[in-house]
Chain A
Amino acid sequence: MTTSINYEDKIPNNVDLSSDRGLQRALEGWQPKFMNWWGEMGPALETHGVYLRTAVSVGRDGWAHFDHVNVPDYRWGIFLAEPKPDRRIAFGEHKGQPVWQQVPGEYRADLQRLIVIQGDTEPASVEQQKLLGLTAPSLYDLRNLFQVNVEEGRHLWAMVYLLHAYFGREGREEAEALLVRNSGSPDSPRILGAFNEETADWLAFYMFTYFTDRDGKYQLGTLKESAFDPLSRTCEFMLKEEAHHMFVGTTGVDRVVARSAQLIREHDTLDIAKHGGIPLDIIQKYINFHYTVSLDLFGSETSTNAANYFTAGLKGRWMEERRKDDHQLTEHGIPLQRPNADGTWTNDELSALLALNLDLRGEYITDCQSGIKRWNKILAEAEIGFTFALPHVGFNRQVGMHSGFHITPDGSIVDAGSWREAAGKWLPTSEDLAFVRSLMHPVYEPGKIASWVAPPTNGINGKPFDYEYVYFH
């Protein structure tokens, strides 16, 4: 077993890389290209040491080590979760058979596609967040941004490792293409639409890490069930890192809401814009936008691809092994509400196998509700009569059966004109975005924080909030 991480190698790893000279050479060939990419597309703000977490082992405890690291010197590497002895395929037509340690020829193209799409999203968020360091509200937040960035970079490494180790020359070409495509590039954009949008301000960053990274969590969760064991183990470890990104999102929004609540109480008005806070209705509009864009990432309600992946054992359901059914789904059906042109909704029954995207999206929505509950609790404790809500699942959708309909946040189907007229009440307007951007002034002094967000209740790794998380000299 190869569980402890070897930091002696040029590429840190726990896969015994030095015993596979060919693979090692391939990855060492890719490494400088990655560094070039990081130099060009990584954080724009120059720093001299950020208090970062680095994995030291993949086991249950003590896997993280904290120290100040010059960001480009971060030791990106290849870390797989510990193998489970006698792991068996949990679903699909190969259910009960031993998991695969090699890619079956039959599924080579599909697996490669899944890994490339997942891999393409990881560096995309680094590119989307390139400029955020220039407007960080505190050193604590700046440090979190860079932590998220380096871990996204590491997740790219995770996917690249799989491509190099298991997919031959084509895998290496795909690994290189992951660096050639860039978020928002007109000639070579990222594969999924949401990853070509820019993350222009810190509220958007918190929302992105809450909603969009949470989509990532669910996608990784389904790949963790994969019969292809190296993919499963890679994703399992990525999920541990991903948890921190969502922590940044959850507590980030917490702190914005807490600060707004504080300003509302202080000035006894919901209109806190002039006092340097973000009004609750703008926060709600951000929730509406980021939530709906993230829902699009789950794809269409019915998906032949998802069904094929499931049957083949490539991609399972969330918590597949804990579910109590036959794990084949050829005979099952699930209900679905479908919008009609006349403004009504129809109840349909769908084949469960074809509705796997819907299943995963359902899990995701339930999870998103917990954030709303948290944020409402903050408002309730401050005795403010305002509550946040997730909009209807059909609101503002570009993908799937709701696209082409104009659905309000409360689920009414209206005509295009009425929808457009009211859109400014539901989604951030250009004035809202300009206002939030006007608050984005960098605060690089230890212990200080911007006007629009509350300080965190705890620092990192037991350090206080005023700890010098980032060195500039």
Chain B
Amino acid sequence: MDVSFDAHPSTYRHWKTRIEGVIAWLVLDVDETGGIVPGYELKLNSYDLGVDIELYDATQRLRFEHPEVRVVVLTSGKDKVFCAGANIRMLAASTHEWKVNFCKFTNETRNAMEDSAGQAYLAAVNGSCAGGGYELALACEHILLVDDNSSAVSLPEVPLLGVLPGTGGLTRVVDKRRVRKDLADVFATRPDGVKGKTALRWRLVDELAQPRRFEEATRARAAELAARSTRPRDARGVELTPLDRDITADGIRYEHVTAEYDQATSAVTITVRAPRTPAPAALSGLDASFWPLAVTRELDDLILRLRTNQPTLGTWILRTSGDAELLDGYEKLLAGHRHHWLADEILRYHKRVLKRLDVTSRSLIAVIEPDSCCAGMLAELAFAADRQYMLDGPPVGDEDSPARASITLTDANFGLLPMGNGISRLESRFYGHTDHVEWLRKETGRPLSPAEADELGLVTDIPDDIDWADEIRIAIEGRAALSPDACTGLEANLRFAGPETTETRIFGRLSAWQNWIFNRPNASGDEGALRRYGTGQKAIFDRKRV
């Protein structure tokens, strides 16, 4: 079954959205029978990928369709339950790659909630809040907990399931909320969690309100958060219309992006096209067809679909095509209006999609040819890749053509679209060599030849037109021969040079540990905690510490 990431508020099964002036309400009211795959019931407002796809859609629409919204209140539509987190029976029944993919997507959505351009998230926790439910609250700026002497926040994964809170819970508790590590240890080993005043004292929540005052307190806090926002009062939003795509057995085609599968080499060639028309003069009156927004949405959708639906296509060959000058016009428009809400949202969105690429467990190989448009923001695709091959010579099969491949660096390559580690892809590439980055900065704004790109360290190799086909074929076939697990580990280690941030810790350390634990018999063996959960039988652990 292919998973679609399309959603629209009119078809949500699990969320109710309501906009009241500057405040948007996202109310989680999960339909128990609405799991994305059969075999489990989503009890107690627990979620699966389908619930999160709707959440992601809702957050995107709030950003683009509702510039007037300054605060998003996340709360539950159920009595006494905020959210019980990821559905355990779903996790227990899922394949390893499904679990990992699901965690990745939920993490990306939580991170995106924190990357808010003037739309602050407020968690109005109106009932018990466990595991991923608390992690959802942790991704918000402010956590208001109902003080009814029974509602608690908890991270019960370790004691109940033998796994970790997989959506940044441990990291955010100490990194973001600055909870003391000993208290965090106590908290994360108690299946029943912590409620009321203790939760407040330990900094697990920011505020308490009694049930009768709860809505009033929520509104007061929302109003205060709204007052801090810089969102425009009278802007018109951009409606996120359905994506136009054509799916066949051999690939997916969007307007600006195409993907072609090659099952024989376990590879997919992804081509991203530069704009075909000049940029408009201003940011007013635009719709979803505006190239930077359209191309970002298509790339986002493609990455999600390939990750979920094509797990064996292990190598992604990244190509670009089109006119660098037209592209530059769009970049200048966005960069020149960085404080305009729409430009800001599009740049943030593009940044997040590139981050999705950074954390994708596929081998990424950039191919730069004469018809490529490896410039500015599209060059980031190449710098996100594990390797870059640039053709030094005429186009293959057209010896007489004067066309040559080039790379053009722009301001977009120096901090406009940072990675999860907080620095640009070029800074990560030349980590510890600030003089080199300074040198590159001086080379911005002109097309660099293959020889120059090679000298500047921007590419892995520059085969000529005689060797090109073989070199690329060998690179792809070589990749296909390696252990996919080892490649995942190798790439994840190499991609994130430099500083650690909350985000890299979540995606690096946490995912690595969770991946390991998900494979351990203590969690997923026949007598493991995930398998035994819900049977009434206790897990049997191998007591050796490794």
Contact = CB atoms under 8 A, between A and B. Distances in A.
A354 B536 contact: yes
Contacts of B538: 93, 308, 311-312
Contacts of A109: 159, 190-192
A181 B211 contact: no
Contacts of B536: 304, 306-308, 310-311, 329, 351, 353-354, 356
B150 A181 contact: yes
Contact of A307 (B147, B149, B198, B535): B535
A351 B535 contact: yes
A110 interface: yes
Of B147, B210, B536, which is in contact with the most chain A CB atoms at under 10 Å from its CB? Answer: B536
A266 to B, nearest CB: 49
A186 B212 CA distance: 7
Nearest to B534: A304
Interface string A107-129: 00110110000000000000000
Contacts of B454: none
Between A110, A173, A188, A356, the greatest number of chain B beta carbons within 10 A of the residue's beta carbon is seen for: A188
A19 to B, nearest CB: 31
Secondary structure dominating the interface of B:
loop
A113 B159 CA distance: 15
Given A308-B536, A311-B538, A181 B192 contact: no
A257 to B, nearest CB: 37
B537 A353 contact: yes
A353 B534 CA distance: 10
Contacts of A113: 192
B148 interface: yes
A142 to B, nearest CB: 32
Interface of B: 147-150, 159, 190-192, 198, 210-213, 533-538
A421 B150 CA distance: 37
Interface string A335-372: 00000000000000001011010000000000000000
B150 A187 contact: no
Interface string A183-194: 000111101000
A187 B211 contact: yes
Nearest to A304: B534
Q: Which of B148, B149, B190 has the most CB of A within 10 A?
A: B149
A306 B536 CA distance: 7
B202 to A, nearest CB: 13
Contacts of B533: 304
Contacts of A353: 535-537
Interface of A: 93, 109-110, 112-113, 173, 177, 180-181, 186-189, 191, 304, 306-308, 310-312, 329-330, 351, 353-354, 356
Contacts of B210: 187-188
A191 B537 CA distance: 27
A356 B536 CA distance: 10
A306 B147 CA distance: 27
B540 to A, nearest CB: 10
A173 B538 CA distance: 29
Contacts of B213: 187
B148 A189 contact: yes
B317 to A, nearest CB: 47
Given A109-B191, A112-B192, A188 B148 contact: yes
B31 to A, nearest CB: 13
A407 to B, nearest CB: 20
B524 to A, nearest CB: 18
A404 to B, nearest CB: 10
Contact of B211 (A186, A351, A354): A186
B534 to A, nearest CB: 5
Contacts of A180: 149
Contacts of A191: 150
A112 B191 CA distance: 11
Contacts of B148: 187-189
Given A181-B150, A353-B536, 13 more contacts: A112-B192, A180-B149, A181-B149, A186-B212, A188-B148, A188-B210, A189-B148, A191-B150, A308-B538, A329-B536, A330-B537, A353-B535, A356-B536
B254 to A, nearest CB: 42
Nearest to B189: A109
Contacts of A181: 149-150
B175 to A, nearest CB: 26
A318 B159 CA distance: 28
Nearest to A330: B537
Contacts of B211: 186-188
Nearest to A189: B148
Interchain residue pairs A-B with the least CB separation, the first 8: A307-B536, A353-B536, A187-B210, A109-B192, A304-B534, A188-B149, A187-B211, A109-B191
Contacts of B537: 307, 311, 330, 353
B258 to A, nearest CB: 46
A188 B212 CA distance: 10
A440 B536 CA distance: 48
A113 B191 CA distance: 10
Contacts of A312: 538
Nearest to A178: B149
Nearest to A308: B536
Nearest to B190: A109
A403 to B, nearest CB: 12
B212 A177 contact: no
Contacts of A310: 536
Contacts of B147: 187
B192 A187 contact: no
Most chain A beta carbons < 10 A, residue from B190, B211, B537 = B537
7 contacts: A110-B191, A112-B192, A187-B212, A307-B536, A308-B536, A354-B534, A354-B536
A307 B538 CA distance: 10
B535 A354 contact: yes
A181 B536 CA distance: 30
Contacts of B190: 109
A93 B532 CA distance: 14
Contacts of A351: 535-536
A177 B149 contact: yes
A263 B198 CA distance: 60
B218 to A, nearest CB: 15
A418 B147 CA distance: 40
A112 B193 CA distance: 12
A172 B211 CA distance: 24
Contacts of A330: 537
Contacts of A311: 536-538
Which has the most chain B C-beta neighbours within 10 Å: A173, A177, A181, A187? A187
Nearest to B533: A304
A304 B212 CA distance: 32
Nearest to A354: B536
Contacts of B535: 304, 307, 351, 353-354
A173 B152 CA distance: 14
Nearest to A112: B192
A181 B149 CA distance: 7
Contacts of A93: 538
A109 B152 CA distance: 13
Contacts of A354: 534-536
B96 to A, nearest CB: 24
Nearest to B198: A173
Nearest to B197: A173
Nearest to B192: A109
A134 to B, nearest CB: 28
Nearest to A303: B536
Nearest to B148: A188
A109 B192 CA distance: 6
Nearest to A188: B149
Contacts of B149: 177, 180-181, 188
A189 B147 CA distance: 11
Nearest to B194: A170
Contacts of A188: 148-149, 210-211
A205 B149 CA distance: 27
A192 to B, nearest CB: 11
Contacts of A189: 148
Nearest to B214: A187
